[in-house]
């Protein structure tokens, strides 16, 4: 278990589940490549009583054959291939029943959605097994895991049938935050500046599978070239594999992701319909829900709780990077990223993506502002421009229960950020426009979130609070 970075909350929850005196059904889900399987394997090690992993492209009969082989290996005897999943679960029941009834028995079914092939009867058999026998075994801990988060939520978490309210523990694994990304890199002898780590995060997010591909002997730019742009690079086909393994009808999901990638501030549902040509019906609702549950998009609430004005925003860092740089550039230049070092397109991408990083680290921002214990509401705001007004927008609003609002201005810079006369006027106009259009009576604090802080000059005093890059690592 010493190889696990972070995951303290999840480990404590697993420890509690093992201490319970009733049967435990633990559901583990989260984005593909986020480390679900690693966590369970590393935490339990050789103490797993039985483990079985579903296969994406295998027929049901082959999966049942594999199940019999795995169970036979554990039981040290030949197990006949079951004709269906009911027989398979009955064989598992017999095996578990032979063991010590006092000792904890931990069963792990990984990639559960891949076992549920059409007409396989898997879920009906699993439901029968659990409700008729498994749930009565006080020493049984049954862990199920899957990357198809929407399937896991629909079939288990929100099940209205035999699995309704049966799970005793739910673990949703989030990607690493910046702090744990840094710790993970250091565990692999990679000691980069936080400026480089933030840029890395903009590309890979906190996905352990991607991070482990980094070579400690290469620079940041060399690593990105090597992993994404080199010939047959290790992640050269990751995008198609990622979406096709998570979603049936994946082309429609990719259409949505592509449309969202073109408007970094996000799109309303109606705008998604217009850009993709998809029908505005229940199928679209489910696809948007699936993408949100899988961590690929976020819903940005418009200030004032106007639900109709909520925006869907692509929030998966790898997908954003793919659409911006990989899709049209793979194979053209093996040193593409290094050659883009001073390119305006890369600087613009960094500025926009840093806003995403900040949205994913709101708790760290609140900690720096000293408001961790205050109830807050997170939203965005924009005002359409016209012939007389330029328009304005705020990409992160922290509205506090103490009747204070932090209007956050986010800037990614290679050094201290300097406010000049023109930008000072723009900031003041933005704050005034927000107050006037929202009729707001609360205290407004202009808050700057930057890499290295603000350069002190005659205009910087208008800023009420500052948050720097290092604060996001806390």
Query: For 344-363, how does the pLDDT look when each residue is reduced to its tens digit (9 = 90+)?
Result: 999 999 999 999 999 999 99
Domain 246-314 has CATH 3.30.1360.30: no
- Position 57 scores a pLDDT of 86
The first and second tokens of residue 441, run together, are 């009576």
Reference 466, options 409, 415, 399; nearest CA is: 409
When pLDDT is averaged across residues 286-312 and rounded to a whole number, the result is 85
β partners of residue 107: 50, 142
Q: Is the pLDDT of residue 308 over 60?
A: no
pTM given for the model: 0.92
Contact criterion met (CB below 8 Å) for 171 and 43: no
* Shared fold status for 246-314 and 361-473: no
The dihedral of CA 89, 95, 97, 101: what is its sign?
negative
When pLDDT is averaged across residues 312-330 and rounded to a whole number, the result is 91
Its CATH architecture, for the domain 8-173, is 3-Layer(aba) Sandwich (3.40)
Q: Which CA distances in Å does 219 have to 193, 197, 200, 203, 379? A: 11, 11, 11, 15, 37
Domain 361-473 has CATH 3.40.1350: yes
Domain locations in the chain? 8-173, 178-236+330-355, 246-314, 361-473
The dihedral of CA 305, 307, 308, 309: what is its sign?
positive
User: pLDDT, tens digit, for every residue of 123-138?
Assistant: 999 999 999 999 999 9
Q: Can you tell me which residue has the tokens 């989030």?
A: 174
Helix or strand holding residue 317 (H, E): helix 317-321
Contact criterion met (CB below 8 Å) for 339 and 333: yes
Measure the CA angle with vertex 376, ends 375 and 379; round to 5°: 165
- Tell me the average pLDDT of the chain: 92
**What is the pLDDT confidence band of residue 151, given thresholds at 50, 70 and 90?**
confident
The dihedral of CA 408, 409, 411, 415: what is its sign?
negative
**What is the pLDDT confidence band of residue 310, given thresholds at 50, 70 and 90?**
confident
- Position 155 scores a pLDDT of 78
- Position 387 scores a pLDDT of 64
| Crossing angle for the helix pair 344-359 and 362-369, to the nearest 10 degrees | 70
Reference 428, options 380, 379, 455, 464; nearest CA is: 464
User: pLDDT, tens digit, for every residue of 183-227?
Assistant: 999 999 999 999 999 999 999 999 999 999 999 999 999 999 999
């Amino acid at each position: 278990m010493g190889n696990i970075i972070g995951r303290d909350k999840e480990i404590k929850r697993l420890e509690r589940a093992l201490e319970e005196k009733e049967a435990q059904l633990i559901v583990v889900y989260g984005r593909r490549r986020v480390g679900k399987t690693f966590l369970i394997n590393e935490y339990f090690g050789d103490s797993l009583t039985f483990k079985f992993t579903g296969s994406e492209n295998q027929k049901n009969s082959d999966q049942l054959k594999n199940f019999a082989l795995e169970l036979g290996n554990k039981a040290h005897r030949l197990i006949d291939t079951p004709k269906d999943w009911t027989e398979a679960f009955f064989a598992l029941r017999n095996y578990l029943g032979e063991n010590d009834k006092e000792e904890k028995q931990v069963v792990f079914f990984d990639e559960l959605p891949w076992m549920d092939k059409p007409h396989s009867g898997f879920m009906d058999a699993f439901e029968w097994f659990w409700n008729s026998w498994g749930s009565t075994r006080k020493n049984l801990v049954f862990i199920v895991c899957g990357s198809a988060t929407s399937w896991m939520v629909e079939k288990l978490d929100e099940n209205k049938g035999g699995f309704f309210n049966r799970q005793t523990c739910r673990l949703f694994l989030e990607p690493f935050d910046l702090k744990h990304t840094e710790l993970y890199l250091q565990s692999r002898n990679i000691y980069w500046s936080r400026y480089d780590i933030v840029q890395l995060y903009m590309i890979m997010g906190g996905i352990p599978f991607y991070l482990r591909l980094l070579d400690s002997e290469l620079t940041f730019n060399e690593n990105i070239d090597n992993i994404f742009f080199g010939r047959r690079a290790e992640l050269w086909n990751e995008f198609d594999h990622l979406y096709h393994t998570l979603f049936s009808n994946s082309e429609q999901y990719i259409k949505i992701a592509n449309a969202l990638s073109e408007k970094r501030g996000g799109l309303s549902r109606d705008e998604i319909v217009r850009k993709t040509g998809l029908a505005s019906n229940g199928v679209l609702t489910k696809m948007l829900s699936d993408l949100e549950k899988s961590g690929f998009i976020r819903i940005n609430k418009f200030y004032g709780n106007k639900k109709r004005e909520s925006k869907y925003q692509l929030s998966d860092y790898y997908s954003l990077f793919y659409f911006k740089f990989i899709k049209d550039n793979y194979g053209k230049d093996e040193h593409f990223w290094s050659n883009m070092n001073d390119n305006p397109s890369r600087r613009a991408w960094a500025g926009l993506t840093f806003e995403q990083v900040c949205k994913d680290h709101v708790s760290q921002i609140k900690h720096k502002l000293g408001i961790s214990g205050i109830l807050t509401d997170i939203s965005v705001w924009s005002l359409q421009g016209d012939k007389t007004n330029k328009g304005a927008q705020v990409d992160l609003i922290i509205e506090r229960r103490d009747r204070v609002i932090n209007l956050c201005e986010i800037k990614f810079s290679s050094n201290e950020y300097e406010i000049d006369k023109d930008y000072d006027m723009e900031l003041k106009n933005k704050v005034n426009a927000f107050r006037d259009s929202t009729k707001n009576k609360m205290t407004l604090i202009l808050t700057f979130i930057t890499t290295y802080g603000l350069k002190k000059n005659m205009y910087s005093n208008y800023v009420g609070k500052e948050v720097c890059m290092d604060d996001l690592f806390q």
